[in-house]
Structure 1
């Protein structure tokens, strides 16, 4: 996306902020458009640190000041509640605005990706718009690279799209596009591990995946083995990917990944 002006219902966007920017200074138009389109704005943060600008005073909004480090389940429960409330109040949808911070995470990047994947699923199911703003000075560059992979859209300082993206196409189902090679294998492994925590049988769509090399296939199998009694079902893989999977020796019952057409 060139800017947040392009967002539509169901979008989940990663906003990389400028070094001198603040959460609402860089998302002012996104917030103000809430009134234009009949959306309620939900800001996740502290009222003291995230006030609405004066020129957005007419926007119907709520600030969720979640106590302590908010787990993904707590955050999702809160925003789902706001969607139901907004529907009763006659709003078209909600515009969620959040700025994750490393200090709020106990489980590191995997916890962050799990939260972002659930937010993506929430946006796709509910029709809400979710913008996650990341300040580069607060994050390790490697963490930001992985964050970009689990957002269907991004706006901001990055000029190059990630090698692959993983995004929701239904409950516990994720589409993966692009290329998963040795450079992106670790990021893919982290994203798959984060997703499988909530799904004993995780479904991945490889329809738009161009290529996955040996490192990527190992990352996939390792993610499936991350927790006991987990399986990953892959559909839509092209003939080349399926052949490489077979030649790599993964096409047998002992591997908790099923590679289908």
Structure 2
């Protein structure tokens, strides 16, 4: 079972981890990224760098390592979600055939996403990548988001749709939504007025691709009225789709009833 956590740097990451790394400064990125790649080479991972990392970084490992700059490959347009997910999945399978322990990916997200990417697009893309990781793909993916490039609202969104988070934000993501099993997603933390828009964007991204979204809320401490309203708003955007809220605590269930959401016409159901 995947468990959300904050990590102190990149050293603790392991196979199956999908990490949001908010990078405060270029020199810190250079140091930590070198260590991350070198550690992988030592333990038998195949390395893949998505970005403009100097080739000298790859001198310590196999010539089969991959250095790909999406911005150059697409003329600055960045990659769409299908291209990114397909690439990681395909190269993870190749790494396994070639005898590597896993595929170790470092992605410079300012080179991956096109200019003008919205928080909702980030949520959609990262959640689809997380579904690949949570589905048992033998890979480690670190998504590096420079705080000097991306606005605070996009950084907050990125942090909320990864199971693991490291780096510096004014405030760490209040909630985390991540893949647990096919059709099942874990929701942890707190969803209140401050994070309601980010939560709505994340749920919209999931509902777009599945008729029934199952949210396990065992790790959810609180969802206030604004969060509940966003949950219903997201479900209403896709007629015929439903959200099943599972493992919610008694406080959440009581508030749901008191606010009048316990209504069979609402396409959100709290499972018994």
- TM-score, structure 2 normalization: 0.87
**2:90 matches 1:81:** yes
Distance 2:148 2:57 in 1: 27
Residue pair 2:183, 2:214 contacting (<8 A) in 1 also: yes
Distance 1:56 1:124 in 2: 31
Distance 2:132 2:122 in 1: 15
Match of 1:146 in 2: 157
Distance 2:107 2:248 in 1: 34
**2:113 matches 1:109:** no
Equivalent of residue 132 in structure 2, options 108, 118, 122: 122
Residue pair 2:41, 2:60 contacting (<8 A) in 1 also: no
RMSD, aligned α-carbons: 2.0
Distance 2:125 2:58 in 1: 31
Equivalent of residue 191 in structure 1, options 187, 202, 206: 202
State the shift of 1:15 in Å.
1.1
Q: Cα 1:80–1:109, aligned 2, differ >3 Å: closer, same or farther?
A: same
- Consecutive unaligned residues of structure 1, counting only runs of 5 or more, are none
Distance 1:93 1:184 in 2: 34
> Once structures 1 and 2 are overlaid, which stretch shifts more, 210-219 or 31-40?
31-40
Secondary structure in 2 matching 1:101: helix
Distance 1:24 1:172 in 2: 37
Residue pair 1:242, 1:260 contacting (<8 A) in 2 also: no
Residue pairs, 1:15-94, within 5 angstroms: 15-21=21-27, 24-45=30-51, 49-54=52-57, 56-59=59-62, 60-66=64-70, 67-68=73-74, 69-94=78-103
Residue pairs, 1:221-240, within 5 angstroms: 221-240=232-251
**2:21 matches 1:10:** no
State the shift of 1:143 in Å.
1.2
Q: Alpha-carbon deviations, 1:165-209, whole Å to 9, x = none?
A: 111101232101111111111111111111212212111111111
Secondary structure in 2 matching 1:176: strand
Q: Cα 1:134–1:71, aligned 2, differ >3 Å: closer, same or farther?
A: same
Distance 1:121 1:176 in 2: 14
- Consecutive unaligned residues of structure 2, counting only runs of 5 or more, are 1-6
State the shift of 1:160 in Å.
4.5
Number of equivalent positions? 258
State the shift of 1:5 in Å.
0.7
Residue pair 2:123, 2:158 contacting (<8 A) in 1 also: yes
Distance 1:10 1:112 in 2: 20
Distance 2:202 2:211 in 1: 15
Secondary structure in 2 matching 1:27: helix
State the shift of 1:25 in Å.
4.4
Distance 1:138 1:244 in 2: 39
